[in-house]
Structure 1
Amino acid sequence: MKLLVALEDTGSIKEVECLRGTDTSVQTAKQPISIVNHAAESRATHILKFLVTSDSKYVVAARKGGAIVIYERDTFEEVKRYTNMTANESSAFVSLIQDSTSLIYACCENGVVSVIDLENLNREDNDTQHPIKLELVAPVSCFVLNPNQKGIFAYGGKDNEVKVISITNGKLEQLWESKNVPLDQLRLPVPVWVSGINFLDTDSVKGQSGYHLLVVTRYGHIRMYKTWLKRRPVKTFQPTTKPLRTITHTSTNSNAVSSDSAGLVGKFSLKDGKMVGKFHGSVGFVRALYNYRYSVIATGGLDRYVRVYDLDTCRILAKVFVTSQITDIVMLEDGEKLMEEKMIRKEKEKEQAVKEAEALWEELEKNSSTRKKKKL
């Protein structure tokens, strides 16, 4: 398997190649095939979010301080750097996504969305190169794309209800906004802090159009919305009192996977909210959660380990120490056969190098003994 991992301390991206069963915490276990560092800067400008473009040509990174940098995927040479993409340096990027075309959307906490068209990278016209900027209702903690419908997005944040919007030709239109749940037992409003959103497959009925949303909050809630039915959630659970920070789901939409600030990475049933599986091992806040083709997930956070799990069984498949706190992860491939072939080639190259060194040493010893005989 091959992963790209963004590191906080060095401001770099590490490219990790390893086999299933790799565990750097055990000396006798399999070790990574290779770990290569790319695009290093500093902790002050470390990468908050990054992605690999759909054509695998570029890596786009949103850095602390407001810069968006585009690198060649193969060489990690810098192609383009956009600066001052946030209204101020204290406003961090919360999302970086690509739609089904060549458009990249970078969203900040203050609600500023920068839209970059990759087709304009090589053009000399400054007007076409300059990103389009849109403004959302702030503050924003998450901003996501609907993978099932072009130009549809959702976002939310602290005291900022979930909103579904459309972005077409640089124009933004709000389509729907959620409504908070009823008052609690003390007749107090339930606090709102949306921290993650997923679009599920739409299952609206009787020809009604709408969106099926899976939402987590920093107050430990998991909520489901069907926008064609009502503004309030159709289901709401609170499996933990810790802040939930990440969210993904299984291919059948029957379970959600989320992580909290205390190291829990759990699989929760969307029928009753109960935990049906736990991905063991993480210590501390898990910042990054990547779902690779609904088959495996990769996680990383404060404990400096990248972990890869089987999504169905929750079994750990690989564990690699990367020396720094992790801010984001992208998994590129899970080709076990390709990795094994590469490992075999690497072992053969090592064996060949050892044989050549031994042959050279024997030749030197032979020449040395011949010289001694001549002197005698």
Structure 2
Amino acid sequence: MRVFVSAEDSGSVKDISLPFGLNTSIQQDVQPTVETFATAGRLSYVQQMIVIKLKDGKDYVCIARRGGTIQLYESEPPYALVSEWKDNSTQKDDAYIRLEFFANKLSSCTTTGKLVMRDVESASAPGPEFRTMLMGDTPGRVRDISISAYRVHPREPNIIAFGGKERELEINVIKNLRRRQVARESSLTSTDSETTKDERESEWELAQLPGMTSPVLSRRMLWRSKNVKDDELNLRVPVWISDIRFLDADRSSEQAFDFRVVISTRFGQIRVYETKISGRPIVNIDASDHPIVSLAPCRNEHDIVFCDTHGVTSKVNIISGKKSGHFKGSTGSVLCLESYLLGSDDEDSSESGKEPVPLLATGGLDKYIHMYNLETRELIGKVYVGAKVPALYIMDASPTVGNEPAEENGIEPKTEDESDEAAADICRKRAKTSRSDRGSGSERVHFEKRNEDRINDEDDDEDDEDEEADGIWDKMEEQFDDSNAVEAEVKDEDEDEDEDEDEDEDEDDSETVATEPRERTRTNNANRGSLRRGPKRRRQRS
């Protein structure tokens, strides 16, 4: 698989080639091939991106940058810059909402309604360009209205559809883009199935209308939608279209006035319009509780894929209104959505002997691109880009020799358990390395032995201090015992002498003499207790 991804932080484009089954969030032996080019900085990041093929048969990457610059790069190394156009956008909040290329006509549209269509038959010598404003006929204040969705019909490039904030869906025809007279006569003799894509693209020419002095696009409105009926509170339902897709393109034409269009809104609805039936939607689905960002078609015309601002990507059946399943993996708001379908106009891949897988790619604020199988909703690729992804384009989905599944390449992708074991091995190696940083060989042994000796010396010093304290306490205890014995003898002698004296006269003196030894004994015992507790506390602290 090969995908072009824009990085908002660096303003560059990355060419990423990855095999099936690659997931960079899990440690693996295989890594994607990434080539970075067209770096211009964050202030000029890529807002829209497509890949176009010119008459020389080469593919070119066309990007629209913030600030009003459109560039054309080669799709192969060294990714040389071929052409550059500047739309001279003066408004800071003006941004590109869409790039379209069909029949060698490159058209770009901005949020202020500036539509520019260029004739790009050759990369070295681009043709004339024509401009118009899609909001020139908008009543009311223009600052409250903006264009947020634009799409060119996949079969007839002169049919465009656009809508936005407080701007209903509108289908116009570009008068400057007309079929050539020779091609029109030849088309009458051949059916549409017999004409190839190159023949259909060569039928159209972009020219100035007679009587026009300036290169201005002249358009005519074919159909405009009507807002849905008021809600249950009789309040007007706001309008904000976020994306537009044409369905059943083979049956629609300007003469038949028969178009089937599906749109998404910033209020979580998906609506289907039949221009021949009514101006109001025939199907109105409440698909999400959050603003829907983009739509992507599926092989089955009754299914459509949408993504919203809360990382939800789901498939919805527009007939029944039920969700067919979710595409899991995104953890942030999805900013871009792109599907790759193998149609009748695409090149046949029978040379490889394998049918290309219908893919769905998403990118957003989580700085990852996710690749899914559009039919089974299986995650077949996940690559960390390192920056927000505002735009992407799937270049190739054919299983080639370099882009086969990991099992076919002889590489078994590691599971999460195996990746955890590998991470544990890395941690053990790092710990071993940090221990070896102290020294190697005899130096490390000497260092460890010196630490052990230092710890043992500290323990011995503490033991000596404890023994010394115990010895001092024992000596003090002996001294207190001797003093108590002397005091007892003195007490006995005093009592004998007091017996000979008159009891009435010397009663107070005898009580005083008897009391003093007791008080001294209590004081000595208290001192002994304090000295006894001192060494114990010291042992606890040590």
The number of equivalent residue pairs is: 339
The Cα RMSD (Å) is 2.4
Matches within 5 A, 1:59-74: 59-74=61-76
Unaligned runs of 5+ in 2: 136-144, 177-216, 343-357, 411-542
Give the equivalent residue in structure 2 for 1:337: 400
Quickly say closer, same or farther: Cα 1:168–1:73, change in 2 above 3 A. Answer: farther
Q: State the TM-score, normalized to the length of structure 1.
A: 0.85
Give the equivalent residue in structure 1 for 2:154: 147
Give the equivalent residue in structure 2 for 1:269: 317
Aligned partner of residue 44 in structure 1, secondary structure = helix
Quickly say closer, same or farther: Cα 1:238–1:328, change in 2 above 3 A. Answer: same
Q: C-alpha separation between the residues in 1 aligned to 2:120 and 2:79? A: 16
Give the equivalent residue in structure 2 for 1:43: 42
Q: State the TM-score, normalized to the length of structure 2.
A: 0.60
Q: C-alpha separation between the residues in 2 aligned to 1:337 and 1:78? A: 28
Q: C-alpha separation between the residues in 1 aligned to 2:27 and 2:257? A: 55
Letter of the 2:275 counterpart: T
Return the offset for 1:241. Answer: 1.9
Letter of the 1:3 counterpart: V
Residue of structure 1 aligned with 2:130, choices 129, 132, 154: 132
Residue of structure 1 aligned with 2:259, choices 198, 208, 211: 211
Q: State yes or no: 1:90 paired with 2:60.
A: no
Residues 90-138 of structure 1, C-alpha deviations (whole Å, 9 max, x = no match):
2000001101x11111100000011122136534xxxx75632111125
Q: Which entry has the higher C-alpha Rg, 1 or 2? A: 2
Q: C-alpha separation between the residues in 2 aligned to 1:197 and 1:88? A: 25
Q: C-alpha separation between the residues in 2 aligned to 1:57 and 1:342? A: 26
Letter of the 1:8 counterpart: E
Q: C-alpha separation between the residues in 2 aligned to 1:341 and 1:217? A: 38
- Conserved 8 A contact 1:310-1:316: yes
Return the offset for 1:43. Answer: 0.5
Matches within 5 A, 1:1-376: 1-28=1-28, 31-55=30-54, 56-74=58-76, 75-99=78-102, 101-119=103-121, 121-123=123-125, 131-137=129-135, 139-169=146-176, 170-202=217-249, 208-293=256-341, 295-340=358-403
Return the offset for 1:209. Answer: 3.2
Q: Deviation above 6 Å: which 4+ runs of structure 1?
A: none
Return the offset for 1:308. Answer: 0.5
Q: C-alpha separation between the residues in 1 aligned to 2:295 and 2:23? A: 26
Residues 217-273 of structure 1, C-alpha deviations (whole Å, 9 max, x = no match):
000000000001010000101121200010012122111100000000011111232
- Conserved 8 A contact 1:121-1:129: no
Aligned partner of residue 279 in structure 2, secondary structure = coil
Letter of the 1:333 counterpart: D
- Conserved 8 A contact 1:61-1:69: yes
Q: Which moved more, 1:192-201 or 1:162-171?
A: 162-171
Q: C-alpha separation between the residues in 2 aligned to 1:82 and 1:17? A: 29
Unaligned runs of 5+ in 1: 348-376
Identical residues among aligned pairs (%): 29
Residues 317-350 of structure 1, C-alpha deviations (whole Å, 9 max, x = no match):
100001110011111111222324899xx99xxx
Letter of the 1:184 counterpart: D
| Larger helix proportion of the pair | 2
Quickly say closer, same or farther: Cα 1:262–1:341, change in 2 above 3 A. Answer: closer
Return the offset for 1:85. Answer: 4.3
| Larger strand proportion of the pair | 1
Aligned partner of residue 162 in structure 1, secondary structure = strand
